[in-house]
Structure 1
Amino acid sequence: MSTPHVVVVMGVTGTGKTTIGPLVAEALGVPYAEGDDFHPPANIAKMSAGTPLDDADRWPWLDAIGQWALSRAGKGGVVSSSALKRAYRDRLRAVAPDAVFLHLTGDRELIERRMTERKGHFMPTKLLDSQFATLQPLEDDEAGVSVDVSGSPEEITERAVAALRRLDA
């Protein structure tokens, strides 16, 4: 990218936001922030218990991510956030209007398999269906790109960085 955007890596749980986000940040030469770190303890407890978050749970989390993105305006950065609904992305853009979105997409079977293989994450596989039910993909009027998550992390990162660079072309 020719301008230092803040990239919000979005997608359902298990798409690789935590893996791909830092790799994209490294490729772009900007810092990375893990979106899960912005969750208040009550949200983590709720998800760990297998209970999906509701919008009231998400607003403070999204506001915190938006504030981080705003602090990186003009300098660039990458942050992960599921940002599943248009309303969530709108809320992030209300705080950080120059944010662009990298939507990691993939086949449900692939994502579920990856979720069962990961260790130490609070999000149980049983919440994957609620994530897909909530997901509203990027719309044509939203600044961002969608990238399929099949392949190695390096292949996904290469596709993501190339797609992000095309945003400014």
Structure 2
Amino acid sequence: MAATCLVVMGVSGSGKSTVAELLARRLGWVFAEGDEFHSAANVAKMRAGEALTDADREPWLAALRDWIGEQADAGRSTVVTCSALRHHYRDVLREASARVRFVHLDGSRDLIAERLGHRKGHFMPPALLDSQLAALEPLVEGEDGIRVDVAHTPEEIVAQVVAYAV
């Protein structure tokens, strides 16, 4: 069976890291935090409250795609966090040799903004939420993925994803 990569996607504050770590643990798959693949320049830009451009994101997406492919080529399935807001970004990730499937963590702006307000120590400021929501292109028919409401607990979300993906 070919390796699979579950990309846990959504705007900042949707719970990607929490859900992805739980998923990886539950499935026994390798986990990667997509934010760790950003360049220092991208992180500095986001810390300053400046939204990334597509050009800023291209090397980041390529690095994630390459990592997913390396893991798949070694026979390892993975769980990765990545905002993957646009169809084009997801197309880049799908170029990996794994079966890339998307888990879109979606919810109301108010709920996500509230969560961002309580988050500590992250470089992504709450002020960028609106720009992320404006950039978001939800999954469409034909994309290998599932939308999950973030109003559920992380454990409930993981149960939904496992039922879908395995």
Name the SS of the counterpart of 1:95 in structure 2.
coil
Query: Is residue 2:77 matched to residue 1:76?
Result: yes
Taking the TM superposition and a 5 Å limit, the aligned residue runs for 1:108-119 are 108-119=109-120
Q: Which runs of 5+ in 1 are unaligned?
A: none
Aligned equivalents of 1:132, 1:144: Cα separation in 2: 19
Aligned equivalents of 1:151, 1:94: Cα separation in 2: 31
Q: Is the 8 A contact 1:63 1:95 kept in 2?
A: no
Match of 2:21 in 1: 22
Deviation of residue 97 (structure 1)?
5.4
| Matching residue's letter, 2:145 | G
Aligned equivalents of 1:84, 1:135: Cα separation in 2: 5
| Matching residue's letter, 1:35 | G
Match of 1:62 in 2: 61
Q: Is the 8 A contact 2:4 2:98 kept in 1?
A: no
| Matching residue's letter, 1:112 | A
Match of 2:104 in 1: 103
Match of 1:151 in 2: 152
Name the SS of the counterpart of 1:113 in structure 2.
helix
Aligned equivalents of 1:161, 1:148: Cα separation in 2: 15
Match of 1:47 in 2: 46
Number of equivalences: 164
Q: Which shifted more, 91-100 or 48-57?
A: 91-100
Q: Which shifted more, 153-162 or 9-18?
A: 153-162
- Deviation string 1:80-125 (CA, Å, 9 cap, x unpaired) is 1000000000011123452111111111111010111111001111
Match of 1:31 in 2: 30
TM-score (norm 2): 0.94
Deviation of residue 149 (structure 1)?
0.8
Aligned equivalents of 1:40, 1:47: Cα separation in 2: 11
- RMSD of aligned alpha carbons: 1.3
Match of 1:127 in 2: 128
Aligned equivalents of 2:105, 2:131: Cα separation in 1: 17
Q: Is the 8 A contact 1:33 1:78 kept in 2?
A: yes
Aligned equivalents of 1:95, 1:21: Cα separation in 2: 19
Match of 2:4 in 1: 5
